[in-house]
Structure 1
Amino acid sequence: MKRMSLRAAATASTLLWGRAVLGGGLVGFGLQPYDPTCAYACDRSFSMLMLDCSTPMDMSGGMEMDMDGGSPIISPRCRAGNTPWLTSMAWCVHTQCASHDVLASDIEAFWAAQVTEDPSVPPKWDFGAALAQATKNPPTKVLAASAEWLNHTALVNPDVYLSHYNAMVAVQRENEVESAFGIAIIVAGFGTPVVLSWMGYMPYMSRALNKVKPYLVYPSLVGTYQVRPLPYLLGNAPTVGQSLFVFLFFALNLVLMALGYRSMQPHAWFPTASKEILAYIFYRAGTLGFVLIPLLILFSSRNNVLLWATNWSHSTFLLLHRWVARMFALQALLHTLLALPLYWPGEARKAYWIWGAVATIAAVVLVFGSGLYVRRPAYEVFLVSHVVLSVFVLVGCWYHIKLWMPQLGWGYETWLYAGMAVWSFDRLLRVMRVLKTGVRRARVVELGGDDGQYVRVDIEGLRWGPEPGQHVYAYFPTLRPWTPWENHPFSVVPSALLQPPAKTTDSSGRGRPTVAEATGEVEKQQRITEAARMLPAATPTSSRTSNSISRGSPPPTVGLTLYIKKASGITKYLRAEESLLTLLEGPYSSQSTKAPLRCDRLLLIGGGIGITSLVPWVTRHWNVKLCWSVRESARCLVDEMEGPLSRVAEKDVRVGARLDFHALLAAEERHGWATIGVVVSGPGGLCDDVRAAVTTAARAGKAVFELEVDAYSW
């Protein structure tokens, strides 16, 4: 007896290894599960027939039997040595594939991989030898559609064959459509932010974008809510532009869920066209849910490549992450609900179904358990549960397809591989950032405020650039040893910026202002006087006193400094300490800095602890004005910032008094600046009020405004 050729065996082994280990890509893009379809239809037409060497088995398999390459009711060894099976299969493949121009090598590869259902169990004849045996006594009897046994070389029933052929063609076509639509969703989700950001570099686009920003980029969709949470902690309202992106992305998913279905009857798996189309909708809901996983993880990543390729902020991507998560949960629910009329209750007891249910339930709990009504009062609980439930989602999705089709031949796992790659990349870079900074010892200085709520954390020896818009995630493992992983973002202030500005000396040795301080001093003082007439009276700021110095040593000349307002998390444990174990992950960019720095005028608006985000800006522009309001309880911050803010010639610092943002912007416009950059950092209410004021001024006035909001509302 001849054995299958080495070439066919090698081809089969390579095919199955690629499918099982690498996933093989996507159907239609590197994967053709039923190739050649005419040969697979022969296999399915005979596969449920009993052979002399087979034993009865449970034949209720549902569709998972059909899509994973068949779940045989006879053992591979039985098929390998059964003459009627091999000759009937060879004759069917020979006659049915004759009109499909199938290569002989493809038929040999199919024979080696599929005829016994196990490539490690080779048949006693290769395809050529089996066909030769069938040709000696060509079959003349057609099997009845209701036949149960195959005990002689027989002709395949044409109706049975057609129903299986239609099923394979239709299902493979549907999967090709799903793959194409999945790629479209990925390209849209990943590419749209890049395209919109890069449009600003195209000729003649800057003027158009400047006209659009006051209507799309700056205003909130719901009143003046943006950083501030909506009533009842329902979440953060998106801007009009963010809402448009979310709406269009939802619409794209909805359209792709509704288009491109095609029925092929008779169908071996679904007796009616309505059930067939329902099954395809069920398939597509699950597949497009898988497609969203890489985007879902990417948008939440700290090391999101889109943060480097676009001018969108991290808070924007986190908002998109939440909306994509809701879309994923909807797809998972739709996939589950549509499966019930097709497979309940027969499949519900199987492991693959149970794992799919676990993933769906975890996704729904994640969505409802990630609202502000959970994050605000119990952030640490939210953080731990978010990670645990996310693991359940990924593991559940993996075992859902792995137990459904062990050989992973349909490419669904490709989307999981992509999501895991994004997650691994982000986590690896996080670890590398921490390792690069190394283990540090920080000095904690209590500044004062109500119940000592303001502290300064100095980390010596780090030389990070003074670029504005940066933040760092700080870990204090010893503060709460039972949650050493807890970390929070803080604005980065290079300690050198906290030192009083240097003075040069004239020929007599007396101090005199530097060139930067002297340039335009008269003009700046005139603007200060004019603006002061229009704005409400400010509470005089106090000078630095020996009492503030006595709270601790001054900031180091080389290093980083974090100013922290204690909250309910790990920061509430911060106390005066000379050597606190500290790990730093960063620096990360909070927002784009190019547009504001290119403006004729840079207006910095801060509230409370938000001043720490603004300090690095004061040395980066030649024409800066600072407006800062703090509560009386935060006067210690004013004392602390007197040195670094002495570099700013124009400043309005108010203790216990509010700023009038509309009047402030109106005064800036009257000076005739063509472009005004506005950077705001502080409490949510202040940030939202500035956003609303800039939106109104940009729509009504001639000046062009560039707004950047730096608020940790994540």
Structure 2
Amino acid sequence: MATSVVVALLVLVLVLGVSAQVGSGVIGFGISLYQDLCCQACHDSLSSLWLTCTTFSNATASSMPGMSGMSNMPGMSMPMAMTSPECYASNTPWLQTMAFCIQQHCTADGYPADKQAECFSNQAVGGARSPTLEQSMPFIAPTIELAANATWLNITSLVNSEVYSSTYGSEGEFRRSEYLHSTYALTLYLVVIGGCLVCGVLTQLAAAFPSIHRRLQASRFWPKLREYIFLPGLVGSRRLEPLPGQVGYVPRRTISIFIAIYITLNVVFSAIGFGSFQPNINFKSKGFELCEYVGNRTGILSLVNAGLAILFAGRNNLLIALTGWSLTTFITLHRWVARIATVQAIAHSVVYTLAYWQPGYDGFSAYVAKVAEPFYYWGIIATICFSLAMGVAILPMRINFYETFLALHIVLVAAALAACWYHIVPHFTLAFGYQTWLYICFAFWAFDRTARLLRIAMFNHIGGSQATLEAIPESKVMQLTVYPRSMRGFGPGQHTFLYFPALGMFWQSHPFSVSGWKTRTSPSFKVIAGVPPTGTNKTETKNNSDIVVLSNGVVDQGPMSVSFLIHPHNGITARLQQRLASSTNPTMDITVYTEGPYAGHRAKHLPLLNADTVLCIVGGIGITGVLGYIQEYATALHNADEISQRDAGIMNRTKRFILAWSAREISLIEYVRQKYLDGAAGIESSFWCTDATVSKLPFKKDGRYEVDMTTTGVILGRMHVETLVKSCLEKECRTAVLVCGPGRMADEVTKYVVNGVKDGFIVDLIEESFAW
């Protein structure tokens, strides 16, 4: 966690520095829209009138770019008029009419005299110090009111009351609507990030003071919350196993509740608080006005959710370290928040399309004319890119073509954000603060990418880190040993992202769980077989496994290294296997880059801090996610006489550590036993091999082989998870169950852990999982 914090702080300083230069807030929070509404209404009621010093050109409004096809609209065929700031500052009718209007209407609104003088300077004379409001006041109050359709201002006049009322009401309603957009958008950020921060602070307190967690476990309400809310799936026990047809995953109940609340919040915020003022100076009908407000609201909320989706997808998301939630949990939130953002972007586009079929507009012809404007078609492009990015993220695409999916996903999201920029900034400039929501998206993305580069620089030699790839005999699995520049922060429950520039596509990286790590001096061990530890139930030992208990010594381990077990799938891991297979040797040297350790945060390991018994249930290549915990436990046990309990690591209270591993390849089991478990002290190990071709054995009615392979100490058949979990639960004993394996196994383990909680046992669950 220390490495993550150092990197994050460096990047945060950079991002805040950039934000300070480009950010100015949003409407209502840093940007005041129509702050002096009465004064603004006076200006806008008069600003379209021509003065005696107004100049004219031969061009017409309809000849301007983007105005073609609109010559039939009122005023579009008239000559272009320009009134300069000097003209306004020297024209007596303008100055006196503006001054009288401001004094009359702003005084009625309770606007103080000094503010009236300030807004007169800003609105009437373009910020000049003179003439002032007091100097411009007419000696005799005007009595002639301008006509509603007046075009000239030749004498000091009263502003037309209907025009002023319409202008004041229209701008006031627009200001209220924009303020609500910003309020609801910021509320989303506060609810999500604030909620994570609260959970994180509580988790950090529990990690710093483990007694808090123990008291919660001993309480009456906490086990009920875990039984019904925190642990189970939404319906049944399915959580990490994909739904039939690979349509997706069902998040666990806690996450599902959060997602449901968040969806509801977005629906409510997209649908409430809309008003209308008619007659309106900006919109010809109430329908168009409401479409404008709904479109702006959904557009802003879409950008907010896009920012949160980018935050949750980041590897260097600080919320992971704070809360202890896994990257898989945040990726789940990323997917749902991104879906909401896309739906809101689509709603934004649909509503703005429907607006041109409202009364007072020409339907298709008006829409076609609008689509020809750059800001409009850039918005359409952004919506299409968001929709395609969501489309390529379907589960079958992620599972079968992950590298293609990832590249397309990143390109489409980047294109969508770029299109949003051209949709917003050239049209609205920076005055409304809409670009701020984009700045947040850019900042989250820049934060993560910059942190990755810093990590690469921190953990690698110039030119990369040397690594050795080794084939495991009679197995598809390979071992990769990397020799990084720094070993800072490596520990149990971690993974890293590796780059293989020699295989092409040097920009691609893939996550691999850390199987083990070696400093220059590490504990080494000798195997003592057939001695069950104190407290082991002999009947369960006979029925479930041959227990192997290990003892230790110390040797010089050579250069620092980090090890990984890699099971090839498609893409880069398949190319690694092909490269190794084409080599004449069973090992191959290769250059890699590592981003250093991720995950393994103390907040996630909270259950281990209090556990008397740790049960690791592992399936297949999931062993790579558990070996780090075995090394941590064995090292702490070896150094027990030399260090205090406080410094003994994350399992300083643990008296019993049980490993139950089921794998198809007997060769993999034997390799791990010899290469990794020989370095683990005091571990109770049980092994199952599910490959029925290994030996011809009787098949029992329950579908499990129960006969030991005497030469290997491995049970043939399927692990009986329920029996295993129940055998390790004891009253007044705190048990932590760590599961790492296929989704179906993880869901099964979760089911029996929930049952254990229901039966009154003190049992926690830690999942080391990766869901596509």
The TM-score normalised by the length of structure 2 is 0.77
Q: How does 1:670-681 map to 2 (within 5 A)?
A: 671-672=730-731, 674-681=733-740
Alpha-carbon deviation of 1:525?
A: 5.7
Alpha-carbon deviation of 1:179?
A: 1.9
What letter is aligned with 1:468?
Answer: P
Q: How does 1:198-237 map to 2 (within 5 A)?
A: 198-199=201-202, 201=205, 205-206=216-217, 207=219, 208-237=221-250
Task: Kindly indicate whether residue 670 of structure 2 is the aligned counterpart of residue 638 of structure 1.
Answer: yes
Matched residues in 2 for 1:292 and 1:366: separation? 14
| Distance of aligned partners of 1:310 and 1:460 in 2 relative to their CA distance in 1, 3 Å threshold | closer
Match of 2:105 in 1: 96
Matched residues in 2 for 1:695 and 1:449: separation? 38
Do the aligned residues in 2 keep the contact of 1:473 with 1:585 (CA within 8 Å)?
yes
Report how many aligned residue pairs link the two structures: 648
Residue 489 of structure 1 aligns to a residue in which SS?
strand
**Pairing partner for 1:487 from 499, 509, 519:** 509
**Pairing partner for 1:663 from 710, 723, 737:** 723
Do the aligned residues in 2 keep the contact of 1:290 with 1:412 (CA within 8 Å)?
no
Greater CA drift, 320-329 or 177-186: 177-186
Stretches of structure 2 lacking an aligned partner (at least 5 in a row): 1-18, 71-79, 207-211, 357-365, 551-555, 581-585, 634-650, 691-716
Alpha-carbon deviation of 1:437?
A: 0.6
Alpha-carbon deviation of 1:362?
A: 1.0
Matched residues in 1 for 2:330 and 2:600: separation? 12
Match of 2:294 in 1: 281
What letter is aligned with 1:387?
Answer: I
Q: How does 1:81-230 map to 2 (within 5 A)?
A: 82-103=91-112, 106-107=115-116, 109-111=118-120, 113-115=122-124, 126-128=130-132, 132=135, 135=138, 139-199=142-202, 201=205, 205-206=216-217, 207=219, 208-230=221-243
| Distance of aligned partners of 1:460 and 1:291 in 2 relative to their CA distance in 1, 3 Å threshold | closer
Matched residues in 1 for 2:281 and 2:21: separation? 30
Deviations 1:595-636 (A, max 9, x none): 13421210011122211211121233431000011113x513
Task: Kindly indicate whether residue 761 of structure 2 is the aligned counterpart of residue 703 of structure 1.
Answer: yes
Task: Kindly indicate whether residue 380 of structure 2 is the aligned counterpart of residue 380 of structure 1.
Answer: no
Match of 2:45 in 1: 45
Residue 276 of structure 2 aligns to a residue in which SS?
coil
Match of 2:750 in 1: 691
Q: How does 1:484-523 map to 2 (within 5 A)?
A: 484-496=506-518, 502=524
Alpha-carbon deviation of 1:283?
A: 2.2
Matched residues in 2 for 1:113 and 1:29: separation? 21
| Distance of aligned partners of 1:225 and 1:674 in 2 relative to their CA distance in 1, 3 Å threshold | same
The TM-score normalised by the length of structure 1 is 0.83
Residue 579 of structure 1 aligns to a residue in which SS?
strand
Task: Kindly indicate whether residue 611 of structure 2 is the aligned counterpart of residue 586 of structure 1.
Answer: no
Match of 1:57 in 2: 61
Matched residues in 1 for 2:270 and 2:352: separation? 16
- Aligned CA RMSD, in angstroms, stands at 3.3
Matched residues in 2 for 1:156 and 1:251: separation? 46
Q: How does 1:383-462 map to 2 (within 5 A)?
A: 383-406=406-429, 408-438=430-460, 439-450=464-475, 452-459=476-483, 462=486
Matched residues in 2 for 1:403 and 1:459: separation? 50
Task: Kindly indicate whether residue 326 of structure 2 is the aligned counterpart of residue 313 of structure 1.
Answer: yes
Match of 1:566 in 2: 568
Matched residues in 2 for 1:498 and 1:323: separation? 45
Do the aligned residues in 2 keep the contact of 1:597 with 1:677 (CA within 8 Å)?
no
**Pairing partner for 2:617 from 605, 618, 628:** 605
Alpha-carbon deviation of 1:386?
A: 1.3
| Distance of aligned partners of 1:466 and 1:653 in 2 relative to their CA distance in 1, 3 Å threshold | farther
Residue 502 of structure 2 aligns to a residue in which SS?
coil
Matched residues in 1 for 2:120 and 2:404: separation? 55
Do the aligned residues in 2 keep the contact of 1:596 with 1:678 (CA within 8 Å)?
no
Residue 501 of structure 2 aligns to a residue in which SS?
coil
What letter is aligned with 1:566?
Answer: P
Matched residues in 1 for 2:280 and 2:216: separation? 54
Alpha-carbon deviation of 1:361?
A: 1.1
Do the aligned residues in 1 keep the contact of 2:469 with 2:478 (CA within 8 Å)?
no
Match of 2:658 in 1: 625
Deviations 1:54-76 (A, max 9, x none): 444249989xxxxxxxxx96354
Matched residues in 2 for 1:555 and 1:484: separation? 31
Matched residues in 1 for 2:675 and 2:182: separation? 60
Alpha-carbon deviation of 1:561?
A: 0.9
Matched residues in 1 for 2:484 and 2:457: separation? 16
What letter is aligned with 1:496?
Answer: K
| Distance of aligned partners of 1:489 and 1:281 in 2 relative to their CA distance in 1, 3 Å threshold | same
Alpha-carbon deviation of 1:335?
A: 1.4
Matched residues in 2 for 1:372 and 1:333: separation? 22
Do the aligned residues in 2 keep the contact of 1:461 with 1:559 (CA within 8 Å)?
no
Matched residues in 2 for 1:404 and 1:667: separation? 68
What letter is aligned with 1:490?
Answer: F
| Distance of aligned partners of 1:88 and 1:194 in 2 relative to their CA distance in 1, 3 Å threshold | same
Deviations 1:559-580 (A, max 9, x none): 1111111121211222255431
Residue 660 of structure 2 aligns to a residue in which SS?
strand
What letter is aligned with 2:497?
Answer: Y
| Distance of aligned partners of 1:383 and 1:82 in 2 relative to their CA distance in 1, 3 Å threshold | farther
Deviations 1:22-52 (A, max 9, x none): 4531222222121211111112112333444
| Distance of aligned partners of 1:164 and 1:500 in 2 relative to their CA distance in 1, 3 Å threshold | closer
Deviations 1:352-409 (A, max 9, x none): 1112111111111111111112212221221111111111221222222212212x22
Do the aligned residues in 2 keep the contact of 1:434 with 1:584 (CA within 8 Å)?
yes
| Distance of aligned partners of 1:581 and 1:107 in 2 relative to their CA distance in 1, 3 Å threshold | farther
Match of 2:685 in 1: 651
Greater CA drift, 261-270 or 154-163: 261-270
Matched residues in 2 for 1:288 and 1:193: separation? 19
Deviations 1:423-469 (A, max 9, x none): 2111111111110012211111111345x443333426643456311
Matched residues in 1 for 2:615 and 2:255: separation? 25
Identity %: 30
Residue 270 of structure 1 aligns to a residue in which SS?
coil
Matched residues in 2 for 1:459 and 1:572: separation? 22
Residue 371 of structure 2 aligns to a residue in which SS?
coil
**Pairing partner for 1:247 from 260, 268, 277:** 260
Deviations 1:304-324 (A, max 9, x none): 111122121111011001000
Task: Kindly indicate whether residue 501 of structure 2 is the aligned counterpart of residue 477 of structure 1.
Answer: yes
Matched residues in 2 for 1:455 and 1:300: separation? 28
What letter is aligned with 1:409?
Answer: A
| Distance of aligned partners of 1:577 and 1:104 in 2 relative to their CA distance in 1, 3 Å threshold | farther
Matched residues in 1 for 2:482 and 2:557: separation? 6
Residue 570 of structure 2 aligns to a residue in which SS?
coil
| Distance of aligned partners of 1:658 and 1:229 in 2 relative to their CA distance in 1, 3 Å threshold | same
Matched residues in 2 for 1:283 and 1:258: separation? 12
Do the aligned residues in 2 keep the contact of 1:674 with 1:702 (CA within 8 Å)?
no
Do the aligned residues in 2 keep the contact of 1:600 with 1:623 (CA within 8 Å)?
yes
Task: Kindly indicate whether residue 558 of structure 2 is the aligned counterpart of residue 524 of structure 1.
Answer: no
Matched residues in 2 for 1:497 and 1:691: separation? 35
Greater CA drift, 590-599 or 73-82: 73-82
| Distance of aligned partners of 1:369 and 1:86 in 2 relative to their CA distance in 1, 3 Å threshold | farther
Residue 560 of structure 1 aligns to a residue in which SS?
strand
